């Protein structure tokens, strides 16, 4: 090649990173790995090969964990947990700091091993994955240090089972392990079967850092081992990142077990480009959105929505940029894209694209290296929004695109998905960007940037992208619980009786749906008796149809979610005022219904309404300082439609305690009143009627908790279900919620003191809101 040729082609030479040290580390370990349990590696057993997807070469042999291995790991974690928690925040902070330091000292070894095992470009492993891993441990060393002063009412959950995928093996480990340990939990982690090597290197680092035995345990194997962890009776929480399909299975498998659960699942995230965007930056951003990590990113900007006026120019520029992408040896520092993680994934992506006979497919036209899991950067234009490839996660370097005309159409297309993980918006108009960001149904929104991550900023989805957040203060929620031990809740049976005294004028209790009193669809009612056996009246028995009507009414009241906290506060005060005006009547009603002291319950209900009126305009988000040019805004958004099964034991206070936080935060509620003592709720809708509560914001039904819970939990238009019922329905609700992966908050048969502080406060506000992280350019 002549100098002239070089100038003409301007080709890069190869700049290979050496694999020697990482391969030597594997040889040192004997090329065979057991599990890391109770501070030591076990003997390697029956297992499977871990291969380099770029070459097919076997890197090591891993052990498939048996039930005995999982039991041993859980037992070690259980044994270590109390001592680890008692070490205190500072004690744990020192350990996390030591791990962060060691991760820095061995940064290159981790990066090269990750690239060998996963196929991602060394440039990404070295400059993105590994630095973010270190950052996560530093950040959470700080969280451990601050736990006692900042989270004085919270404590560790216990033993956490953590199951992670193969796209960011070490980073996902860090996202799971660091917050868990910081809050005093111990862990049993299972890396993905394709990519376990950096987790095993991390185990070695834990040993070097002097982490107490049993605090971190790592077992290797496939989905069957994941199932053993999920089903283990001595695990308190499952944290999972992976496919929506497996997430759904895990939701169903853990239903009724009392285990806490967070799910970080798939996505089909929109990448929206408006006609005033800086087009070159938006093209460059898109390269990062969809071809970073070969597109194997849960929040990949895999759906391009570009405004019609610039679509042609944008696509031309994109194709030109695509055609310059370099796909090749992941260890070469000059490549843009490496290999997919496994031949199975390669085949899945191939099948999905080859099965597409619509639209127009453009692929990088270059010779790909032979023998590895390489797939060219691909763009498919001209698909209908309902096309399977516009809706399904491809999880590879394949971008689909369509156009839109107006901002409203962009939002409609963006939200036309069962997922809700992330979204990107490009425009030079700050008004437009900040108008669109709140309208996108997604857990994370990037403005004029994409794929930004930081330990301080929460990450996680809505809809079928899962629930729970990783990172930030909000991420700690998933690794702690309120201090104290709850007592079991006995089933509260309705009272029976036979003393019927004729009333002067009949008072007919009805359901309250869409701001109107409604007769039950089924046409059935039942008697309500006082504790002393006196007939108090009849209540309607709501059916599935009534639930559906109430949900529809709640959906229709979407405007409530856009009202200001100030307005909602005024309405809550007004409800309190009107309840106060009828305090005596409610007090007598509760006396009769429950035999308790009704006056106290009414007084507590008024107080509670004041509490949430107070919170309505104060439970705000935060602005997070992140170490890049920008600020991450954590905005608290209403969850949407919340179905709540109210406590049986406090007929008025129970209803108010779940309704008030829900509507204070902008949700609409479908409330199933106390089954045993429903009549205070049917009186209460008259209070709502006179308090300017818009129709559909609070709907009240009466009937059997066990019969109505399943319908609420399986309803696709309900976003969350809470239950404080004394009926045994927690498992049913969790199981039925798996359909659309709605959030659940159930009592698992445990009592709550509604009169006391545990009957109100942040736990309710957190459950009534979801954090959306919006990254905006800010500062230099
Ligand atoms: P997967 O969801 O099956 O695997 C993720 C992890 O879950 C692995 O550690 C696996 O061993 C474990 N697992 C599998 N079945 C399990 C079960 N029944 N119970 C408990 N744990 C189980 O993902 P897979 O098969 O590796 O990839 C399939 C598709 O999932 C991808 O094509 C992609 O669409 C999606 N995916 C999404 C990810 C994300 O970050 N959201 C990550 C990985 C995959």
Mutation test residue for ligand 1: of 161, 239, 243, the one with most atoms within 8 Å of CB = 243
Distance CA 218, CA 37 (A): 6
The 10 Å Cβ neighbour count of residue 31 is: 14
Structure tokens at 661: 């936080």
pLDDT category at 117 given cuts 50, 70, 90 is very high
pLDDT tens across 414-469, in order? 999 999 999 999 999 999 999 999 999 999 999 999 999 999 999 999 999 999 99
Share of the chain above pLDDT 90, in %: 95
Q: Is 249 in the pocket of ligand 1 (CB under 6 A)?
A: yes
Using CA atoms in the order 465, 468, 471, 476, what is the torsion angle rounded to 10 degrees? -170
Buried b (16+ CB within 10 A) or exposed e, 685-708: bebbeebebbbbbbbbbbbebebb
The protein residue with its alpha carbon nearest to ligand 1, atom 15, reads: 223
> Is the pTM value of this prediction over 0.95?
yes
- 192 CB near ligand 1 (under 6 Å): yes
How close is the Cα of 394 to the center of ligand 1, in Å? 13
In the reported structure, the alpha carbon of residue 331 is separated from the centroid of ligand 1 by a whole-number distance in angstroms of 25
User: Is the CB of 163 inside a 6 Å radius of any atom of ligand 1?
Assistant: yes
CA distance linking residue 573 with residue 529, whole number of Å: 32
Q: Is the CB of 392 under 6 A from ligand 1?
A: no
Q: What is the pLDDT of residue 498?
A: 86
Question: Could you read off the pLDDT of 316-327 as tens digits, one per residue?
Answer: 999 999 999 999
Q: Residue 291 pLDDT > 70, yes or no?
A: yes
82: left (phi over 0), alpha (psi -120 to 50) or beta: alpha
pLDDT at residue 342 in the model: 97
pLDDT of amino acid 501: 76
| Cα 243 to middle of ligand 1, angstroms | 5
Question: Which residues, including other chains, have CB under 8 Å from residue 593's CB and lie 6 or more apart?
Answer: 528, 530, 531, 536, 651, 677, 679, 680
Q: Is the CB of 645 under 6 A from ligand 1?
A: no
CA distance 97 to 534: 66
- The three-state secondary structure class of 761 is coil
Mean pLDDT across the stretch 551-575? 98
Q: Is 266 in the pocket of ligand 1 (CB under 6 A)?
A: yes
CA-nearest residue for atom 36, ligand 1, is 243
Q: Which of 417, 395, 412 is nearest to 462 (CA)?
A: 417
CB of 167 within 6 A of ligand 1: the answer is yes
Q: Over the stretch 202-246, which tens digit does the pLDDT of each residue have? A: 999 999 999 999 999 999 999 999 999 999 999 999 999 999 999
Q: If you take atom 10 of ligand 1, which residue's CA is the nearest one?
A: 223
Mean pLDDT computed over 752-760: 95
Predicted local confidence at residue 476, as pLDDT: 97
Measured at the CA of 242, the angle between CA 360 and CA 127, to 5 degrees, comes to 80
Q: Does residue 639 line the site of ligand 1, with CB under 6 A?
A: no
Question: In terms of CATH architecture, what is 270-453?
Answer: 3-Layer(aba) Sandwich (3.40)
The arrangement of secondary structure in 491-776, i.e. its CATH architecture, is 3-Layer(aba) Sandwich (3.40)
Nearest to 125 by CA among 293, 280, 289: 293
Q: What is the pLDDT of residue 504?
A: 61
pLDDT per residue over 459-491, tens digit each?
999 999 999 999 999 999 999 999 999 999 999
Strand segments (E) across 1-68: 36-37, 40-41, 47-51, 58-63
List pLDDT tens digits, range 682-694. Answer: 999 999 999 999 9
- The whole-number pLDDT of residue 503 equals 63
Calculate the average pLDDT of the chain. Answer: 96
Of all residues in the chain, what percent carry a pLDDT higher than 70? Answer: 99
- Residue 246 beta carbon below 6 angstroms from any ligand 1 atom: yes
E-assigned strand segments in 450-568? 466-467, 480-482, 511-513, 516-518, 525-529, 535-540
pLDDT of 8 over the 90 cut: no
Closest ligand 1 atom to residue 165 Cα is 5
Instruction: Point out the residues that are catalytic.
Output: 264
190 lines ligand 1 (CB under 6 A): yes
Q: What is the pLDDT of residue 13?
A: 81
By most ligand atoms within 8 Å of CB, the mutation choice from 62, 64, 65, 165 for ligand 1 is 165
Length in residues, the chain: 780
Q: Do domains 34-265+475-479 and 491-776 have the same CATH topology?
A: yes
- Written as six digits, the tokens of 775 are 């990254």
**Residue 246 Cα, ligand 1 centroid: separation in angstroms?**
6
The number of beta carbons lying within 10 Å of the beta carbon of residue 388 is: 14
Q: From ligand 1's centre to the CA of 263, what distance in Å? A: 11
Domain ranges of the chain: 34-265+475-479, 270-453, 491-776
Query: Which tokens is 509 given?
Result: 């209790």
Mention every residue, 6+ apart, whose C-beta is less than 8 A from residue 646.
654, 655, 658, 671, 672, 673, 674, 681, 724, 725
Separation of CA 242 and ligand 1 centre (Å) = 4
Cα gap 573→410, rounded to integer Å: 38
Tens digits of residue pLDDT in 70-82: 999 999 999 999 9
| CATH fold of 34-265+475-479 | Aldehyde Dehydrogenase; Chain A, domain 1 (3.40.605)
Which of 118, 238, 246 to probe ligand 1 with, by most ligand atoms within 8 A of CB?
Answer: 246
CA of 344 to the centre of ligand 1 (A): 12
Cα(393) to ligand 1 centroid in Å equals 13
Q: Which of 540, 557, 759 minimizes the C-alpha distance to 642?
A: 557
What average pLDDT does this structure show over 173-183? 98
């Amino acid at each position: 090649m002549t100098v002239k040729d070089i100038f003409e082609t301007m080709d890069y030479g190869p700049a290979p990173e050496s694999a020697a040290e990482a391969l030597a580390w594997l040889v040192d370990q004997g090329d065979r790995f057991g599990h890391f349990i109770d501070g030591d590696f076990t003997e390697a057993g029956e297992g499977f090969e871990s291969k380099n997807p770029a070459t097919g070469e076997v890197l090591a042999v891993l052990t498939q964990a048996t039930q005995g291995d999982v039991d041993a790991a859980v037992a070690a974690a259980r044994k270590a947990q109390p001592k680890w928690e008692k070490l205190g925040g500072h004690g744990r902070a020192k350990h996390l700091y030591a791990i962060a330091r060691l991760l820095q000292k061995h940064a290159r070894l981790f990066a090269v091993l990750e690239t060998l095992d996963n196929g991602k470009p060394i440039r990404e492993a070295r400059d993105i994955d590994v630095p973010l891993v270190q950052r996560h441990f530093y950040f959470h060393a700080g969280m451990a240090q601050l736990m006692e002063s900042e989270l004085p009412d919270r404590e560790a959950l216990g033993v956490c089972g953590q199951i992670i995928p193969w796209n960011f093996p070490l980073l996902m480990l860090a996202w799971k392990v660091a917050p868990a340990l910081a809050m005093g939990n111990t862990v049993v982690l299972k890396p993905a079967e394709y990519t376990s090597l950096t987790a095993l290197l991390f185990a070695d680092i834990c040993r070097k850092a002097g982490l107490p035995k049993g605090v971190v345990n790592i077992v290797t194997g496939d989905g069957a081992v994941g199932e053993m962890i999920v089903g283990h009776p001595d695990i308190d929480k499952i944290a999972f990142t992976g496919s929506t399909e497996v997430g759904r299975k895990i939701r169903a498998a853990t239903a009724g077990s009392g285990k806490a659960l967070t799910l970080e699942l798939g996505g089909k995230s929109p990448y929206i480009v408006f006609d005033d965007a800086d087009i070159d930056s938006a093209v460059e951003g898109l390269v990062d959105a969809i071809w970073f990590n070969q597109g194997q990113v849960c929040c990949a900007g895999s759906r391009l929505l570009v405004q019609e006026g610039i679509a042609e120019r944008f696509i031309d520029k994109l194709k030109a940029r695509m055609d310059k992408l370099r796909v090749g040896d992941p260890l070469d520092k000059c490549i843009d894209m490496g290999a997919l993680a496994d031949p199975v994934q390669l085949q899945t992506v191939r099948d999905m694209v080859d099965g597409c006979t619509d639209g127009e497919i453009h692929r990088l036209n270059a010779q790909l290296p032979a023998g590895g899991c390489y797939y060219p950067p691909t763009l498919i234009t001209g698909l209908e929004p309902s096309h399977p490839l516009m809706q399904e996660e491809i999880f590879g370097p394949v971008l689909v695109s369509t156009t839109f005309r107006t901002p409203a159409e962009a939002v409609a297309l963006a939200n036309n998905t069962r997922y809700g993980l992330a979204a990107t918006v490009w425009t030079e108009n700050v008004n437009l960007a900040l108008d669109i960001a709140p309208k996108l149904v997604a857990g994370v929104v990037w403005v004029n940037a994409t794929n930004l991550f930081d330990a301080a900023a929460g990450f996680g989805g809505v809809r079928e992208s899962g629930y729970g957040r990783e990172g930030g203060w909000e991420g700690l929620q998933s690794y702690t619980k309120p201090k104290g031990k709850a007592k079991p809740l006995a089933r509260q049976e309705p009272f029976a009786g036979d003393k019927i005294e004729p009333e002067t004028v009949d008072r007919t209790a009805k359901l309250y749906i869409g701001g109107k009193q409604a007769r039950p669809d089924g046409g059935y009612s039942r008697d309500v008796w006082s504790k002393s056996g006196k007939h108090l009246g009849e209540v309607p028995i709501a059916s599935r149809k009534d639930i559906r009507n109430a949900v529809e009414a709640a959906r229709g009241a979407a405007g409530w979610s856009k009202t200001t906290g100030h307005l909602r506060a005024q309405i809550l005060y007004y409800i309190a005022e009107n309840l106060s005006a009828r305090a005596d009547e409610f007090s007598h009603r509760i006396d009769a219904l429950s035999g308790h002291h009704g006056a106290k319950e009414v007084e507590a209900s008024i107080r509670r309404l004041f509490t949430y009126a107070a919170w309505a305009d104060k439970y705000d988000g935060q602005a997070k300082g992140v170490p890049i040019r920008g600020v991450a805004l954590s905005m608290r958004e209403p969850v949407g439609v919340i179905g709540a099964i109210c406590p049986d034991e406090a007929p008025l206070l129970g209803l108010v305690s779940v309704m008030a936080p829900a509507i204070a935060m902008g949700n609409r509620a479908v409330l199933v009143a106390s089954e045993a003592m429903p009549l205070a709720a049917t009186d209460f809708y008259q209070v709502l009627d006179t308090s300017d509560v818009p129709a559909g914001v609070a709907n009240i039904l009466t009937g059997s908790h066990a019969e109505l819970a399943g319908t609420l939990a399986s309803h696709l238009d309900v976003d969350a279900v809470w239950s404080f019922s004394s009926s045994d329905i927690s498992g049913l609700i969790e199981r039925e919620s798996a359909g659309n992966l709605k959030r659940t908050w159930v009592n698992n048969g445990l009592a709550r003191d509604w009169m006391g502080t545990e009957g109100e406060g942040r736990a309710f506000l957190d459950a009534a809101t979801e954090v959306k992280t919006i990254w905006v350019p800010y500062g230099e």
